[in-house]
Amino acid sequence: MELIERYLQAVGFWLPARQKQDILAELSEDIRSQIDDKESELGRTVTDTDVEEVLKQRGSPVMVANRYQPQRSLIGPVLYPIYRLVLKMAFLFYFLPWVVILTCLSVFMPSYRVHAFDSLWMVIFNIFTFVTLTFALLEKYSLKSGFLEKWNPRKLPPLRANRIKRSSSITEIVALVIASAWWLIFMSSPVIINRPELRIVLAPAWSTYFWSVFILMLVTCAVSVANLFRPYWTVFRAYVRLLTDCVGWGLFAWLCKMDIIAEITVRNVPAEHTMRIAGYINLWMGRSVPIIIAMGALIALFDVYRIVRIKNPDVPVLGVLTRC
């Protein structure tokens, strides 16, 4: 019967001190009653093997002890969906900006690359800890106040029209992240190509264009991430898209007017020829400005139509635009 005592001791290890003796006494009595029954059934005293069988059938000590504990969780099922949403938002509006900042620092300050990953881990750890602790405290102290029951049906968000396909948002995000990385790594210097056989240098205006486009990419990426988690257009996001499209095409038109090719050097080609080529490129870029403005205007019109439709759902749907 030593096995029973050892089993009870093991169960007792996992029990709360306050109830331990009471639970163990009852459990002990139940096991002994079962053993008595088994002895009557077998017509002999039980062996250690029989006791082992009885105990195994009852389950492991930790499992048995756990059944006596109330179900506990740091964040319960009521708050859990809100917790997940807040965690996602925190990653979107806190973690992603940090990723961008650290990427920039790593690109322009190579000595910082080693620390960038440490900082990133700290950012993730801080977000997770802060949000989880906040919700654990809410669960413990505020849920009982019934604050979730104080709601007004009239304040519910409007019906979600103008849905955005999640696959479109994901494609946009992936494309923008790759494009931003490429832009940062390969296009930051005005010396766009610097090989022995070919060298192309851009005008100083390039620096302004470079940073403006990079900021535009970040804003567009933020809108795409917001679209991914909230897959329907809001007036604010539609205005941001209109603004980024207008600024983007405007900047491109401005760049074309700026005689952006400052110098082209090709091995074994006389300088006056390459200067003439650079002049032609600048000239045709300047002449293409009306086309660029027209294309930008067309896209801006699409964006305006989207805003009108969000504000007034009765406006007829144009097939192409609904997919934008």
Partner 1 sequence: MKNSTKTEENGAIYENLRLELRRGCLIVAVLAQLKTERYGYTLRKALADDGLEIDESTLYPLLRRLETQGLLVSEWREEEKRNKRFYKLSPDGKRILKQLLEEWRGINASLEQILHEE
Residues making contact with partner 1 (CB under 8 A): 19, 23, 25-27, 29-30, 32-34, 58-59, 63-64, 67-68
Q: At closest approach, how far in Å is the CB of 34 from partner 1? A: 7
CA gyration radius, the chain: 34
Nearer to partner 1, 54 or 177 (CB): 54
Nearer to partner 1, 67 or 154 (CB): 67
CB 218 within 8 A of CB 177: no
Could you tell me which of 32, 41, 38 has the C-alpha nearest to residue 5?
32
Nearer to partner 1, 69 or 322 (CB): 69
Q: At closest approach, how far in Å is the CB of 77 from partner 1? A: 15
Nearer to partner 1, 37 or 118 (CB): 37
Nearer to partner 1, 21 or 322 (CB): 21
Q: At closest approach, how far in Å is the CB of 70 from partner 1? A: 9
Which residue reads 């805003």 in tokens? 307
Nearer to partner 1, 55 or 116 (CB): 55
Residues 6+ apart with CB under 8 A from 58: 7, 31, 64
Q: At closest approach, how far in Å is the CB of 59 from partner 1? A: 6
Q: At closest approach, how far in Å is the CB of 172 from partner 1? A: 35
Q: Chain centroid to CA 303: how far?
A: 26
Task: Say what angle helices 17-42 and 48-58 make with each other, to 10 degrees.
Answer: 130
The pair of structure tokens assigned to 115 is 């620390």
Q: Chain centroid to CA 158: how far?
A: 25
Q: At closest approach, how far in Å is the CB of 126 from partner 1? A: 38
Nearer to partner 1, 38 or 88 (CB): 38
Specify the DSSP class assigned to residue 153.
Answer: G
Strand-pair partners of 200 = 193, 264
Could you tell me which of 108, 106, 124 has the C-alpha nearest to residue 116?
106
Q: At closest approach, how far in Å is the CB of 16 from partner 1? A: 12
Q: Cα dist. 196→185, 188, 243 in Å?
A: 20, 20, 41
